Amino acid sequence: MPIYEYECRQCNACFEMLVFSGDDEPRKCPHCGAGDIHRQISCASFIGDGIGSRCAGGGNSGFS
């Protein structure tokens, strides 16, 4: 049951979603309702390492 990060291409909002096996991925942005979202490639987060995802404010240096 991983937590995936998504970004809306319309409003640039980032959100996370816990995806259970067999569940559909989200089809709409919870912030603006647009259907143009994509899953982000996230870095592993470890306590105290200072590495985060693009959605957590990591800037343009991430994998996304």
Helix (H) or strand (E) holding 17: strand 14-18
Give the start-to-end residue ranges of the domains of the chain. 3-47
**What per-residue confidence (pLDDT) applies to 34?**
93
pLDDT, tens digit, 9 for 90 and up, residues 5-51: 999 999 999 998 887 877 777 889 999 999 999 988 766 655 555 55
**Which tops the pLDDT comparison, 36 or 53?**
36
CATH number for the domain running over 3-47: 2.20.28.10
Q: Which residues contact 8 (CB under 8 A, 6 or more apart)?
A: 14, 15, 29, 31, 32, 34, 36, 37
> What SS3 class is residue 61?
helix
CA angle 24, 13, 11 (to 5 degrees): 105
